Amino acid sequence: MSTHVRTANASSTALPAVGAAPLLELKRISKRFPGVLALDRVSLELRPGEVHVLFGENGAGKSTLISLIAGVYEPSSGELLFRGQPLELHSVHQARSLGISAVFQEFSLVGQLTVEQNLFLGAEHVSHGLLDRKALHSEAKRILDKLGFPLKPGQKVAYLSRAQQQMVEIAKGFRSDLSVLILDEPTASLTDRETKRLFELVEQAKSSGVGIIYITHRMSEIRRIADRITVLRDGKYIDTVAAKSVNESELVNLMTGRVIDQIFPQINTIPHSG
């Protein structure tokens, strides 16, 4: 299994984000849970070779939206298009087979298994009906070396630090050919050095035509890697803006529906004398 990303066309030159045909489209997607409308007719367009940030407060619908794209949930209504064709996703495995891979904020690692076992959990190397442990180990080592992560394939995940476990999750996302990569607050546990390496991997994926959906609340990350930003509020689509054309106060206004001065009002104090 290759860790090379899949380009959006046969050319070795990446498609530019601007003007490119959409890689993924969500049209008026709604998702209902018992007693809750988590998403209300949300539309989103992901272009090849772009980092598209999802921005919103907790409860805005970001996690539900990426779970739909990753095959965890099925929409209650609306349409999903992949490379211009209607798509119904019924499982994470099906999404991964199309190159749609998600790295969620909540880890899905099994602590008693090793790094290499977690990397290929559900997609194990098999030879003549038996687990090919040698191939599993060598492929895991190749992936970790390629990504530049200082992890040993045979390490048990339970003994890894939070940052190391985050690297295992990220490595899972990069383990196969990619067309869409979803990253949910991926730097929360990483050091500055590890974050820098992640951003290098994101740039490599972009250059190969991969569309990247990225969730973060950190303005420094948005300024550094975002091409476009879609804002959600209370499960509804608010706006999509170019990252270069919007400032922090404008994003906060879109996210909350209030101007930043209303959220953090200026308090006039009376100097104390004597």
% of the chain exceeding 70 in pLDDT: 84
263 pLDDT higher than 50: no
Quote the CA–CA distance of 37 and 196 in Å, as a whole number.
37
Instruction: Give the pLDDT score at 128.
Output: 60
Domain boundaries, the chain: 24-260
Is residue 230 within 8 Å of residue 219, measured between CB atoms? Answer: no
Is residue 29 within 8 Å of residue 65, measured between CB atoms? Answer: yes
24-260 is a CATH 3.40.50.300 domain: yes
pTM across the whole model = 0.83
Is residue 41 within 8 Å of residue 236, measured between CB atoms? Answer: yes
Residues 66-86 have a mean pLDDT of 96
Instruction: Give the pLDDT score at 272.
Output: 57
User: pLDDT (tens digit, 9 = 90+) per residue, 131-163?
Assistant: 778 888 999 999 999 999 999 999 999 999 999
Q: Is the dihedral of CA 239, 242, 245, 248 positive or negative?
A: positive
Instruction: Give the pLDDT score at 259.
Output: 60
